[in-house]
Amino acid sequence: MAPQQTVTPPAPPTSAPAPRAQLIHIEVDRRLGHEWDEWNGRALPGGGNFSAAPRLFFHFAALTIAAVTGAVAFLLYLIGPRLGTLSPLVPRILWSVLAVLAVLQWLYLGVLAASFYSGRNLLPERLMERGPYLQLMNYTSLIARGFGKRDWVEHAAIDVYNTLAERRGRRVGKGELLVLIPRCLSKQALDGVLEIAGRYEVPVFVATRGQLARRVIRERRPRAVVAVACERDMMTGLRDVAGKLPVLGLTMQLPNGPCRDAAIDLGQMEQWVRGLVGAAPAPAHTKP
Ligand code: SF4
């Protein structure tokens, strides 16, 4: 879908106007993102707040590794005798490869958990939150769907990701940071985002679809992104973008169901923006 690059001018000045970022394009209709295609129209559990402890992700990640290893082992068990007719070495090699991979995966999960809970990243980002972790998150989400726990597990996975990513202490220039928000923010949340972005002088884009978000990133070439989205949209966004570009992902609460009136933690957003640009906010303009 072609983006509509409608620039909304900033609000007129008041007695002590806070700087306010320009907003590039917003739509206000309720069009469900495809991640919510199967939504039945009922209120979301917990008022659309899917907060969950990080350990939920680690439990499901362990289950995912066990399930995948078990499925491959079962397949090998079934086809092993047939492969053995080619050469008795073939099944033996395959079993050995599977054993090595299983050990590596369990080790990886152990290092990940140790990093998260010890407060010290034990691997470089390319081997952790911007590497295999992104795949692990997505496979874990698939398993969680089977247990009806998708949104909570995704929330926990994104929290773990953000903790690891934030710890890198990355700094970028103001013009190198991009804030990406979805079209479903409530007015209050949108005003808050624009105010924060205005104070730190970082551009804000509204991306109506993940595809458009990726296009904005391609064209603007930021060095870091603070993205806002529901857990479902954030998972695909992180999977596609975080390997190429540092991203912090702020999830939302959906009190009125998906794709409308979403609320966010503005304090968290400001903390991330301030941390990334490493600067104090621009002073508010006051009338002489
Ligand atoms: S980010 Fe908002 S608009 Fe996009 S799929 Fe999630 S709830 Fe819907």
Q: Whose CA is nearest to atom 1 of ligand 1?
A: 229
Domains of the chain: 20-27+169-277 (3.40.50.2300), 54-164 (no CATH)
Element (DSSP H or E) covering residue 7: strand 7-8
pLDDT number for residue 207 = 79
- 75 has a pLDDT exceeding 70: yes
Confidence check: pLDDT of 16 > 80: no
Per-chain mean pLDDT for the chain? 88
> Is the distance from the beta carbon of residue 233 to the nearest atom of ligand 1 less than 6 Å?
yes
Mutate to test the pocket of ligand 1, among 259, 260, 261, 264 (most ligand atoms within 8 A of CB): 259
Provide the pLDDT for residue 285: 52
- Report DSSP letters for 65-90, one per residue: HHHHHHHHHHHHHHHHHHHHTT-THH
CA distance 21 to 111: 41
What pTM did the predictor assign?
0.86
pLDDT in tens, 266-286: 999 999 999 999 876 666 554
For residue 232, give Cα distances in angstroms to 32, 153, 194.
Answer: 12, 10, 24
